[in-house]
Amino acid sequence: MKNVRKQFGAFLIIAGIAIGVGYFMLKPSDMLPIFQPSDVNPALVDEDLRGNEDHHILDFELVNQLGDTVTKQDVEGKLLVVNFFFARCATICPKISANISKTSAYFEGDESVHFLSHSVTPQIDSVSVLANYAQTFEADSDRWWLLTGEKSHIYELARRSYFAVLDEGDGGLQDFIHTENVVLIDTKGRLRGYYDGTASKDISRLISDIEKLKLEVSTED
């Protein structure tokens, strides 16, 4: 694959213009919403969670493309961009991964922004498979983790942590999820944005929203 930064140079220029002149002061009207279960499409939320008004992402323990075990504690205090994929996917996943790559390149060297891509076929997507996939999309292994682990745990995260999928299931043998949703998480583990990972306009919005959250964090310090 050609160098991602060169391939998407024009995109980054457009995105830079889109987020524009910068923010000297974050006004209340500029702040992103904090999504609680009641704010999300009810079809995305398990019934027992719909009354929760203080939702934070769940703890997790998964393995990244380097073979390292990683947990929520390892990304504590980071802005997170989260999606779900599988390496053999030939439809929406390459588009989403390319757009995640664009976004990662835009924030190159910025340790405050991390990317978590969860395999929905973890029994197939071994560490070596994820490492090859990461190389294809020039993933910065310090900031973009492609994750495998127990299928039931990953599916629980998709359905009960990030509210990223419409279909129901328990992560069993025949259970399968496939979603274009990309989710933005703030430094406190709260849901702050949903994006169509296949749509360029949504990726531009994602970049803009990350910049807003970075400013929000700086004004809290």
- Is pLDDT of 22 > 60? no
Task: Give the confidence band of 219 by pLDDT, cuts at 50, 70, 90.
Answer: confident
- DSSP-based three-state secondary structure for 88: coil
Domain with 55, as residue range(s), is 4-220
CA atoms of 107 and 121, how far apart (whole Å): 28
Sorted by sequence, the CB contacts under 8 Å of residue 216 that are 6+ apart come out as: 26, 31, 32, 186
Give the residue-averaged pLDDT of 100-104: 98
- Report the Cα 187 to chain-centroid distance in Å: 13
Question: What dihedral do alpha carbons 49, 52, 56, 62 form, nearest 10°?
Answer: -20
- Residue, of 219 and 66, whose pLDDT is higher: 66
Task: Give the confidence band of 23 by pLDDT, cuts at 50, 70, 90.
Answer: very low
* Residue 15: CATH number of its domain: 3.40.30.10
If phi > 0 it is left, if psi is from -120 to 50 it is alpha, else beta; for residue 37 that is: alpha
CA atoms of 192 and 31, how far apart (whole Å): 10
- Is pLDDT of 183 > 50? yes
Q: What angle do CA 79, 80, 82 make, to 5 degrees?
A: 165
Q: Are 185 and 82 in contact (CB under 8 A)?
A: yes
Of 19, 29, 37, give the one whose Cα is nearest residue 190. Answer: 37
Structure confidence at residue 122 (pLDDT): 95
For the chain, the domain total comes to 1
Task: Give the confidence band of 6 by pLDDT, cuts at 50, 70, 90.
Answer: low
Q: Model pTM?
A: 0.86
Show the tokens assigned to 179: 């979603």
CA atoms of 95 and 59, how far apart (whole Å): 28
Q: What interhelical angle do 92-106 and 200-220 show, nearest 10? A: 40
